[in-house]
Structure 1
Amino acid sequence: PEQFDQDSEKQMEFLMEATRGVRNMRGEMKIHPGKTVRCVVVATPEDRRILEENKGYIELLANCELEIQDPGDPKPKQAISSVVFGTEIYLPLSGLVDLDKEVARLEKEIKTITGVLERVKKKLSNQEFLAKAPPEVVEKEREKEAELEKNLEALCQRLNTFKA
């Protein structure tokens, strides 16, 4: 019974994370929650079994139609993705999002973040700032720099997805 409970817990956690992954992608792309979307899941045989047994729950909770593929199958083009416990979930955007507008929006956001990042880097390279500012302020600027770099990388990856 103990092993069964652990397996069930692990499966439930996987299903909840998969549902959350689909919902997060929908939110990132501003896709209305009421609109049914197609999701492609690239799953191992074990995850495939879990997904097929519980497909209806994910489809209901994330308002999507799941298509389960094997790892060797071609990945969807112009799609954003999420990884849940090693399983890739793709949300193809064709027909859901105006790709030209999204590319323009991403390019504008990249330009804005690049400008802010340059200002933060300039501040952190200023020896006078480093000498006079309290350590917590300097640390906050370093954290801001790291966060901006992370955001910039994510935006660039998403932009490359659309241009592919």
Structure 2
Amino acid sequence: MPQRAHALPPADPVEELRAAASAEDDNGQPLYQPTDPARPIGHANPPRRPKGVAVQLTPRPSRLEVERRIAQAQLWVAQRLPLVQIIENARENWGIHNTQTVNRYLNLARERMVEELITDRRRHQAEQIFALNDCARRAMDAGQFNAAVGAFRVIAEIGGLLRAPIKPPEPRA
């Protein structure tokens, strides 16, 4: 019995997203469009539809478009939008009706956000300290001194100045 060669997934996640299915069937399985009529019919090359049936084909996105979609997915994750809203936005903005493909974009966006946070830790700390300084200033202007003290405490923790707990341990009887 001849063994079938399994196509290896692309190593580049952007290429994987470019090749992802844009639609899914009623069971949530991806629908792949016919790729090459010269190749035998299989998972990646399903049979062609009859000529009378109109099919809405979405063109394969460019690398630049995939990068733009990943950046937009990062924004949606940062805005903490619910998954239902993210899927609806992907349908409206990208023409993707496959939830698996949307999840691939979201996973890659989250992965990149973590990488950026790790590699750019000092810049991220500086941004957080700047935002907390602004928060503390506004809290003091509003007379909310407890909030201002809390913001300064977090600034000290981020900067590494505060390592010990604020409250002393309770005496043991």
The answer, yes or no, to whether TM exceeds 0.5 is no
More RCO (CA 8 Å, sep 6+): 1
Structure number with greater Rg is: 2
- If the TM-score is normalised by the length of the shorter chain, which range does it land in? under 0.3
**Structure 1 length-normalised TM:** 0.24
Of Structure 1 and Structure 2, the greater strand share is in 1
**Structure 2 length-normalised TM:** 0.23
